[in-house]
């Protein structure tokens, strides 16, 4: 069910500098990664990828999604167990496919937390929740990219999960700009995972800059009349 305590902020990157910068704000609750984000940061090969997860877990006190590469049940279980054993903060990220649902159920039964990724429809999200996923990741930006309403999907998931008190948390992913974050907060997404840029863009307002410049100028005038 919707967590009324707080909307969580995750950063969606494998880049350690960006993770540190977001973490220093003091508002970071976790990190999501995927194989594309690892490759973008030139982290390749199983051992280097595992090391990167450990480095991320050292920086951030929160949930760190680590994605399996296998697409068959046995492979996902093997990889997922190895990832979960790396660090208590690791959440095993599993793709929304048939064996993925079976793997999520297996991990749920074995008390390993999961994030069901690549979710684009309410039906997929129902299956993930029924299997006991800790998080479900609807990709709202990629729906917008193909002229579907990504935020409408987040709203549908909120309604469905609340109808049945599903504990699966809605992790709004593929966020592209600060208004996506604001709209997700209005809908009641449990988590927003975003690149560093939209997080930092939330800070910005021209009236803040103008007002601060005026305050400082008036202070200086007052100090040096
Ligand atoms: O968390 C999912 C995210 O990494 C996908 O984002 O921008 O590649 O659609 P994007």
Catalytic residue selected from 40, 74, 93, 98: 93
- Pocket around ligand 1 at a 6 A CB cut-off: 12, 32, 34, 37, 137, 139, 141-142, 173-174, 193
Q: Which residues of the chain have pLDDT under 70?
A: 1-5
Name the residue of 34, 35, 37, 171 to mutate for ligand 1: max ligand atoms within 8 A of Cβ: 34
Location of structure tokens 């450990």: 54
Write the residue with the smallest CA distance to atom 7 of ligand 1: 174
Would residue 98 show up in a list of annotated catalytic residues for this protein? no
pLDDT in tens, 92-151: 999 999 999 999 999 999 999 999 999 999 999 999 999 999 999 999 999 999 999 999
> Can you list the pairs that 128-132 forms with residues at least 24 positions away whose Cβ atoms lie under 8 Å?
128/96, 128/101, 128/104, 128/168, 129/160, 129/161, 129/164, 129/166, 129/168, 131/101, 131/102, 131/104, 131/105, 132/104, 132/105, 132/107, 132/108, 132/168
Q: CA-CA distance, 130 to 142, in Å (whole number)?
A: 24
């Amino acid at each position: 069910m919707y967590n009324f305590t707080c909307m969580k902020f995750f950063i969606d990157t494998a880049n350690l500098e960006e993770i540190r910068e977001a973490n220093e704000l003091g508002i970071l609750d976790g990190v999501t990664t995927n194989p594309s984000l690892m490759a973008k940061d030139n982290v390749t090969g199983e051992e280097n990828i595992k090391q990167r997860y450990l480095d991320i877990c050292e920086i951030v006190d929160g949930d760190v999604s680590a994605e399996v590469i296998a697409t068959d049940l046995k492979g996902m279980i093997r990889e997922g167990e190895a990832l979960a054993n790396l660090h208590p903060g690791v959440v095993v990220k599993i793709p929304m496919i048939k064996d993925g649902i079976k793997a999520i159920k297996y991990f749920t039964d074995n008390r390993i937390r999961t994030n069901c990724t690549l979710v684009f429809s309410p039906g997929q999200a129902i299956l993930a929740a029924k299997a006991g996923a800790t998080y479900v990741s609807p990709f709202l930006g990629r729906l917008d990219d193909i002229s579907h309403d990504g935020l409408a999907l987040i709203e549908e998931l909120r309604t469905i999960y609340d109808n049945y008190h599903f504990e699966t948390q809605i992790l709004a992913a593929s966020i592209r700009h600060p208004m996506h974050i604001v709209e997700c907060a209005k809908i009641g997404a449990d988590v927003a995972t975003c690149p560093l840029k939209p997080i930092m863009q939330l800070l910005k307002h021209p009236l803040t800059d103008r007002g601060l410049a005026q305050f400082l100028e008036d202070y200086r005038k007052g100090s040096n009349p």
